[in-house]
Amino acid sequence: MSVSMTAGWRSFRRYRASQWLAAARLMVAKRIVQAGWYKRRDVSTTRRPGRLYTFRLQQSEYFDGQRFRIDSYDIPFSHGMDWQQSRREALVGIRLRGWSWLRTEGLKEEHALEALLDFIATENGFTYRAEPYELSLRIQHACWWLGYHDRADVIVMQYVADAAARLRWLTEEHLSNNHLLENGFALCWAGLILDNASYRSRGLDILRTAWQSQVLPSGSHSEQSPMYQHILLARCIETIALMRNCSKVAEAGFLVPVVASLAGWLSYLQWRNGAFPVINDSVERPLPEFSELSAALSALGIDQQQPVVAGPQVRLTNDSFECCFDVSGMEPAHCPGHAHSDSLQLLLNVHGESLLVDPGTSTYAAGEQRSRERSVYFHNTVHLRGDDPAELLGAFRLGRSPGVKLMNVSVNEVLAELTSTYRHQRQVQLNSHELKVVDEISSEEPAFACWLVDKKTGPVLKNGMLTTKFVTIQFHGVVGIELSEFQYAVDFGLFKEAVAVKVEFWRRLETRFILREASMS
């Protein structure tokens, strides 16, 4: 058996029986769609949608009629251009072809239409077939553009109708993650813009079922990525507003508690400086900004629901420290594609500035960079030499994964345990002037704690202590300390400098982050 086949099996064995059935159905559905055996609908007599969208929520993609800005790439627009962007990372092409640039503030409608018509005219010549996720994004943003500007361009509306007809066959129940939710939003929106009750009903059914399993009691989305939670919250807000504007608000009633929970969890996670902890595949400042989403919620009359149970991350805070402690495994277990090997990691801000940072996510392309950013070795936790508690396979797959248990949580103390080929127990205690971390590991082999320190804090190692701008870091139980340069990602393709502090120890390590004014008194 080939390496790729072995990796695939070790990843896909996580599937539940329902996922295997859904995957088999999708294989058949793709053949049906490729053969054109699906029902199309003529939209030439469809009425103008009216101005159904009232929010223009921010997107990172940009278009001014002459060039696209996708992540760190500038892509010139021209007739017959290369929409596939096959020479760039796949994510760049997906974002370009996902049409979110239609939301660019100030984009002239005639420039947007020109780009849309060029894409539609050249799509048949593409050497790939759009995956359901990408198709969903196109439908959503085309619907937004038609509804926000009250347009009834027949070619664009016909494209949306044909895309929705294909997507109805291609929904991704086998993944049961954010992709499936995007499928549901796309079908719901297409149904409302095209006045098609069948699409709308199918989309709402998907959303109703998917949200029952994808929102945790704490309000966190099951994939535990603040970035994707921002995106999904924005989709929910726009869906509720759209349903209200179409006089179908009752049908979207199930989304209101979902939105309240999602927003409450993001409010809980957010740093005081407005950024977010970078957890799993995420970025430091996701778009739309949370302040913008909160304003939209207020406009809809929906209150945020603060978490009432412990979630996958626990925050310890006081006037000086903000600590985010990851006490979850690699979730969701059936589809952990966006998960990183960061269990029991600490992220830390002091006086509103980042001190302990995450390696981040700069790319989705399989390779050394993606593997390094997902692996345990540069997260703020403990590992053995060459032994990642998670078996990472490719860019999005996972074989073996650790078990994690939250053992105790209070206002100023958290205790959690990881079980893999070894047992790692981490206790975090916070008081007014100090954060103390105690790590105990069951292995007789030497262990390593990594602390990824933001370089702007000016870390200096002297006499076994690390001095930074606001805190002195003391280590007890140390065998050796090694420092190295590291670039961490705050967004796709955007890096900042850090210092990786690797602390070797046996069995037990105590690390104390002491405010410098306290340590000097």
Burial class (CB in 10 A: 0-12, 13-18, 19+), 363: middle
Instruction: Tell me the percentage of the chain whose pLDDT exceeds 90.
Output: 81
Q: Nearest 5°: phi and psi at 28?
A: -70, -40
74-82: average pLDDT = 96
Cβ(137)–Cβ(101) below 8 Å? no
377 CB contacts (<8 Å, ≥6 apart)?
383, 388, 450
Q: Is the pLDDT of residue 336 over 80?
A: yes
Q: Which residues contact 109 (CB under 8 A, 6 or more apart)?
A: 149, 151
Q: Look at residue 40 in the predicted model and tell me its pLDDT.
A: 76
Which pLDDT score is estimated for 195? 92
Question: Which one of 3.60.15.10, 2.20.28.90, 2.60.40.10, 2.70.98.70 gives the CATH number of domain 313-519?
Answer: 2.70.98.70
The pLDDT assigned to 13 comes to: 62
Q: What integer is the mean pLDDT of 296-320?
A: 96
pLDDT of residue 106: 96
Helices of type H across 301-437: 368-374
pLDDT at 400 over 60: yes
pLDDT at 517: 79
Mean pLDDT of 186-212: 97
Q: Is the confidence at residue 443, as pLDDT, over 60?
A: yes
Report the share of the chain in percent with pLDDT over 70: 96
**Could you report the per-residue pLDDT of 39-66, keeping only the tens digit for each?**
777 887 677 777 888 888 888 999 999 9
Range with lowest mean pLDDT among 193-197, 321-325, 416-420, 456-460: 193-197
- Mean pLDDT in residue range 233-242: 97
The whole model's pTM is what?
A: 0.93
**Is 122 in a helix, a strand, or coil?**
helix
pLDDT tens digits, 238-286: 999 999 999 998 999 999 999 999 999 999 999 999 999 999 999 999 9
Q: Give pLDDT tens digits for 101-149.
A: 999 999 999 999 999 999 999 998 887 777 999 999 999 999 999 999 9
Question: Does 2 score more than 50 pLDDT?
Answer: no
Q: How far apart are CA 413 and CA 434, in angstroms?
A: 12
pLDDT band of residue 5 (cuts 50, 70, 90) is very low
- Hey, what are 449's tokens? 């704690």
The secondary structure element, H or E, covering residue 347 is strand 346-350
Confidence at residue 306, expressed as pLDDT on a 0 to 100 scale: 93
The secondary structure element, H or E, covering residue 235 is helix 226-245
DSSP string, 66-99: SEEEETTEEEE--TT--SS-TTS-HHHHHHHHTT
11-20 contacts at long range (C-beta below 8 A, 24 or more positions apart): 11/393, 11/394, 11/397, 11/398, 11/399, 14/333, 14/334, 14/335, 14/336, 14/398, 15/174, 15/334, 16/334, 18/173, 19/173, 19/174, 19/175, 19/176, 19/334, 19/335, 20/174
Specify whether the CB–CB gap between 380 and 450 falls below 8 A. Answer: yes
* Higher-confidence position of 67 and 46: 67
**Peptide bond just before 307 cis, omega within 30 deg:** no
Q: Give pLDDT, residue 292.
A: 97
Question: Rounded to whole angstroms, how far apart are CA atoms 371 and 340?
Answer: 9
d(CA 345, CA 265) in angstroms, rounded, equals 19
Query: Taking the alpha carbons of 90, 25, 156, 252 in that order, is the dihedral positive or negative?
Result: negative
Residue of 92, 148, 83 lying closest to 117 (CA atoms):
83
Q: Which residues pair with residue 499 across a beta bridge?
A: 453, 485
Burial of 519 (0-12, 13-18, 19+ CB in 10 A): middle
What does the alpha-carbon distance between residue 393 and residue 151 come to, in Å, rounded to a whole number?
A: 45
d(CA 376, CA 386) in angstroms, rounded, equals: 10
Of the pLDDT bands very low, low, confident and very high (cuts 50, 70, 90), residue 4 is: very low
Rounded to the nearest angstrom, the gap between the alpha carbon of residue 319 and the centroid of all alpha carbons in its chain is: 29
Which strand (E) or helix (H) includes residue 144? helix 132-148
Work out the average pLDDT over 10-25: 74
Query: Dihedrals φ, ψ of 183, to 5°?
Result: -60, -45
**What value does the mean pLDDT of the chain take?**
93
Q: Tell me the pLDDT tens digit for each residue of 338-373.
A: 999 999 999 999 999 999 999 999 999 999 999 999
CA 518 to chain centre: 38
Q: Which two tokens stand for residue 305?
A: 């629901």
Q: Is 63 helix (H, G, I), strand (E, B) or coil?
A: strand
Whole-angstrom distance, CA of residue 447 vs CA of residue 427:
16
Q: For 181-220, b where at least 16 C-beta lie within 10 A, e where not — what string? A: bbbbbbbbbbbbbbebeebbebbbebbeebbeebbbebbb
pLDDT given at position 12: 59
Query: What are the tokens at 198?
Result: 């069948």
pLDDT band at residue 1, thresholds of 50, 70 and 90? very low
The most confident of the ranges 328-337, 389-398, 407-416 is 407-416
Domain residue ranges in the chain: 17-183, 215-309, 313-519
